[in-house]
Amino acid sequence: MEHQEHVLNGADKAEVEEYFKQREQLVEEDTRDYFAVDVGELTEEEKKADEVLQDLKDQLLENGQMPFLENYYDSKPKMEKSKLYTVLKTMPKGAHLHYHLTASAPLELLMELSKEDIVYYNQKKNKIKVFPKGNPEEGYTECSLIRQNWTKEKTFDDFLRDKILLNREDISSKHSNTIWDRFQYKFDLTFQLYNYHKFFRRILFEVLKGAIAESCYIVEFKHIFGCVIDDDQKVVDLATELSIIQECFEKAKEIEPMLEMKLVICGLKIFGDDHIKSQLDSCMKAIKETTLIAGFDLVNEEDTTPPLKTFRKLIKLAQEDNDKLSLFFHAGESSSRKNENLYDAILLNTKRIGHGFAIENHPHLINLVKKKGICLEICPLSNLILGYVMDLRWHPGRSLMNRGVPITISADDPGFWGTQGVSLDYAYIALAWELTVKELKQFAINAIKYSSVEDKEKVG
């Protein structure tokens, strides 16, 4: 002890002080462009909230448990029962910016709709169809009759739940392409449950109510025009579809007047130029008729479908026809270094990038999106479930935060992994990314800042 005091009082004291001075400077420089740098100092109340947040995370990590390392379907019940999830569900999130409408409904709502006497199932084709006027196609049997006559070990409802969910077996592969093969048919299976006009109305309204319940006051849905069907199983026209959507939105606003909703219209790359041109034409027509349209996107698995540059001419022509057309491209949802969609998304002036986590491999593009103010719509659970990351602690979103990249958190397709909204995503990353209240606050700020609603609505 005497020797230590002698050292501290001697010539080495200046060296120690200089070392810690340099260390403090290094930390300051390292965090200068950090994700939450614009939030400022927390209030005393926010500091107390941060202490509560850290305590709630510690409770989930007791005895060395790490739920985010378990199979999703093992960890999910624990997370949903946790106080952390309960608290984060009520936390103001500002906006939900990446939310596919035909993958948004809670599983139990779809199950409830399947009990309507107009809903039929074809087990051979693994497809649900709605026949409002009876006269089903060959091979389709009313779901209620199947329930009555079902003799297998698990009930028909459990069987159907397992078909709709991207279930434990579906996500068992460590190869994203294999998981996508199983994922894609979920949309075909449930297509008419979502798009029969009466069900569509109910789903949209219930999902908007769910957004309100989790404090998301701006919701931007990914949506494909020309899918809503009437009682004659015919596609309704664009004006009727927009009218249905507007009606649901206004009904939800009666519950929460602050609610805002936008649609990002999507073209499916797998259907080629004609389909994409049709979606672009409908999008530009809708822009003239309603304020609901945010812009346009191109979707489908990136590793197995044509790259964005394939459709560059169509996009450019659309932009020339309507300079109000905004773009919100999916890009960089890939583990392959051969994926180049991020280059084209940026060159085509996308306002946000859906997913975008592959940008971690492109230092120049990281600097470019920061300079241009392009926000990434990170969907953590989607990336985990679809096999792009094996451990959420090492999700690229965490390191991109540290590099000051604008990021928001979204749920993508939560209906197919048995949840609703974005709160469960927040719970998982709060734990795996060791988030603070300051960082959570920045997510909410970003969600509002980079949403496509008018500035006056953002302030309101």
pLDDT of residue 451 exceeding 50, the answer is yes
pLDDT at 270 (0 to 100): 95
**Residue 63: φ, ψ to 5°:** 60, 30
Dihedral, CA of residue 205, residue 211, residue 217 and residue 221, to nearest 10: -70
Q: Are 302 and 333 in contact (CB under 8 A)?
A: yes
* Interatomic CA distance for residues 431 and 61, integer angstroms: 9
Question: pLDDT-based confidence at 13, cuts 50/70/90?
Answer: confident
pLDDT of residue 445 exceeding 90, the answer is yes
* Interatomic CA distance for residues 218 and 222, integer angstroms: 13
Chain Cα centroid distance, residue 338: 24
Q: Are 166 and 416 in contact (CB under 8 A)?
A: yes
> Coil, strand, or helix at residue 202?
helix
Which helix (H) or strand (E) segment holds residue 100: the answer is strand 94-100
Query: Looking at residues 305-313, what average pLDDT do you find?
Result: 96
Residue ranges per domain, the chain?
72-105+204-459
For 351, the token pair is 């306002």
* pLDDT 10s digits, 267-297: 999 999 999 999 999 999 999 999 999 999 9
For 396, the token pair is 């690229």
> Coil, strand, or helix at residue 376?
strand
Q: Which residue has the tokens 């190869």?
A: 175
Query: Looking at residues 64-80, what average pLDDT do you find?
Result: 91
pLDDT at 214 (0 to 100): 97
Instruction: Give the CATH H-level superfamily of domain 72-105+204-459.
Output: Metal-dependent hydrolases (3.20.20.140)
Q: CA-based diameter of the chain, in Å?
A: 96
pLDDT of residue 8 exceeding 80, the answer is no
* pLDDT 10s digits, 419-437: 999 999 999 999 999 999 9
Angle subtended by helix axes 83-90 and 423-432, to nearest 10: 120
Rounded mean pLDDT of the chain?
Answer: 93
Question: pLDDT-based confidence at 5, cuts 50/70/90?
Answer: very low
pLDDT at 3 (0 to 100): 46
pLDDT of residue 68 exceeding 90, the answer is no
> Coil, strand, or helix at residue 31?
coil
Query: Looking at residues 248-256, what average pLDDT do you find?
Result: 98
pLDDT at 337 (0 to 100): 87
What is this structure's pTM? Answer: 0.93
